[in-house]
């Protein structure tokens, strides 16, 4: 259930409500907004007598059940989450672009890419150091050496770093280097990993599973938030359908739908969403137009030589073009 406190509610009143919530067997999550505090009480069922009792407590404006199965990520709780990544903010009405190679390959490849995407206006550098590859014979990533190269690129360019953590055992190590930890599509329902990321004090970008419904996607985000980390961004990266002309089917309806259902920021990845370089720029424009808070695109200085995902990687000059092309759409965005 949600307990909306009155605008001037005191800390003592908030503490009292939290204690009552615990006595009733729920877990309280205090969400402090600019004007008022809301307390989400999460547990099994929202009992009518508990709601009535909390409604009449000092400092409480109203109490009502949360209707969605996902609770803490539901838009019923608050209108929008803004996530701070150093001096970059995602979800505050601005637009954030993350770009870089699929895999960190060499120092030259990463630095060339980082400098180019920074010059074109990207704010985060992406690059996989741990790669969840479909085939065990494909390149699996440079691991910690890849993380070190990402940190070096951050030093050089000022870009923040987003990189994937594949294994629960690597969470601490990746969190030492990354500004944002990425959960890949294949791990969207790796609940042990999601729980562990709940304890991390860095933002997490959760990618939608290959065949995950919106409800499953949001429930996975709920795992991370309910385990203590409120800074989760959602990434639509295409889902598997009968269509084989594209690598995945980019579900752009998911963007306004997620905005309707959840307060978490939404990022779109048109690179994995299409698998085709020629489709990345049109879909990037469309993603902005339907209300995304950010984009993630793969960029490689020499896509023909890329160790992974060359066919969907933009060349640096194409990325710069994309940045120019999306700008008018950023100004036109409207959130339903």
Residues making contact with ligand PEP (CB under 6 A): 102, 128, 132, 164, 184-186, 207, 237, 272
Q: Which of Mn ion, ligand PEP, none is residue 290 near (CB under 5 to 8 Å by kind)?
A: none
The closest residue (CB) to Mn ion is 102
Q: Which of Mn ion, ligand PEP, none is residue 184 near (CB under 5 to 8 Å by kind)?
A: ligand PEP
Q: What is the DSSP letter of 3?
A: E
The closest residue (CB) to ligand PEP is 184
Strands 88-90 and 266-268: unpaired
Answer yes or no whether residue 99 interacts with Mn ion by CB under 5 A: no
C-alpha gyration radius of the chain = 21
Q: Which of ligand PEP, Mn ion, none is residue 293 near (CB under 5 to 8 Å by kind)?
A: none
Are the beta carbons of 38 and 31 closer than 8 angstroms?
yes
Structure tokens at 46: 């929202």
69 contact partners, CB below 8 Å, separation of at least 6 = 215, 219
Q: How many CB atoms lie within 10 A of CB 153?
A: 25
d(CA 50, CA 109): 59
d(CA 67, CA 81): 19
d(CA 299, CA 127): 10
Answer yes or no whether residue 283 interacts with Mn ion by CB under 5 A: no
Q: How many CB atoms lie within 10 A of CB 108?
A: 10
Q: Which is nearer to ligand PEP, 128 or 270 (CB)?
A: 128
Q: Which is nearer to Mn ion, 59 or 100 (CB)?
A: 100
Answer yes or no whether residue 309 interacts with Mn ion by CB under 5 A: yes
Q: Could you tell me the smallest distance in angstroms from the CB atom of residue 18 to ligand PEP?
A: 37
Q: Which of 2, 102, 142, 147 binds Mn ion (CB under 5 A)?
A: 102
Q: Could you tell me the smallest distance in angstroms from the CB atom of residue 142 to ligand PEP?
A: 14
Q: Which is nearer to ligand PEP, 20 or 131 (CB)?
A: 131
Q: Which is nearer to ligand PEP, 55 or 240 (CB)?
A: 240
Q: Which is nearer to ligand PEP, 41 or 165 (CB)?
A: 165
Structure tokens at 328: 């008018």
Q: Could you tell me the smallest distance in angstroms from the CB atom of residue 143 to ligand PEP?
A: 15
Q: How many positions of this chain bind Mn ion (CB under 5 A)?
A: 2
Rounded to 5 degrees, φ, ψ at 140 are -100, 0
Q: Which of Mn ion, ligand PEP, none is residue 185 near (CB under 5 to 8 Å by kind)?
A: ligand PEP
d(CA 124, CA 267): 13
Residues in contact with Mn ion by CB under 5 A are: 102, 309
């Amino acid at each position: 259930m949600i307990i909306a406190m009155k605008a001037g509610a005191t800390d003592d009143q908030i503490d009292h409500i939290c204690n009552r919530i615990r006595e009733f067997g729920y877990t309280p999550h205090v969400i402090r907004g600019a004007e008022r505090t809301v307390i989400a009480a999460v547990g099994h069922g929202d009992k009518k007598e508990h709601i009535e009792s909390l409604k009449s407590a000092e400092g409480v404006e109203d109490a009502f059940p949360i209707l969605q199965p996902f609770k803490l990520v539901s838009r019923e709780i608050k209108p929008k989450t803004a996530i701070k990544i150093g001096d970059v903010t995602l979800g505050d009405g601005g637009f954030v672009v993350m770009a870089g190679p699929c895999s960190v390959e060499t120092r030259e490849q990463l630095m060339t890419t980082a400098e180019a995407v920074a010059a074109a206006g990207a704010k985060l550098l992406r690059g996989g150091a741990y790669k969840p590859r479909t085939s065990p014979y494909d390149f699996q990533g440079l691991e910690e050496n890849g993380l070190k190269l990402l940190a070096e690129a951050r030093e050089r360019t000022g870009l923040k770093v987003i990189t994937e953590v594949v294994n629960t055992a690597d969470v601490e190590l990746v969190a030492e280097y990354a500004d944002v930890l990425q959960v890949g599509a294949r791990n969207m329902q790796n609940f042990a990993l999601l729980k562990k990321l709940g304890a991390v004090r860095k933002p997490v970008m959760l990618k939608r599973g290959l065949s995950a419904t919106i409800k499953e996607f949001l429930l996975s985000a709920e795992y991370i938030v309910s385990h203590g980390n409120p800074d989760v961004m959602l990434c639509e990266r295409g889902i598997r359908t009968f269509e084989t002309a594209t690598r995945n089917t980019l579900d752009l309806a998911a963007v306004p739908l997620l905005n309707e259902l959840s307060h978490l920021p939404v990022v779109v990845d048109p690179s994995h969403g299409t698998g085709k370089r020629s489709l990345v720029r049109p879909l990037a424009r469309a993603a902005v137009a339907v209300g995304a808070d950010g984009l993630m695109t793969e960029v490689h200085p020499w896509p023909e030589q890329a160790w992974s995902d060359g066919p969907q990687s933009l060349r640096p000059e194409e990325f710069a073009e994309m940045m120019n092309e999306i700008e008018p759409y950023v100004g036109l965005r409207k959130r339903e």
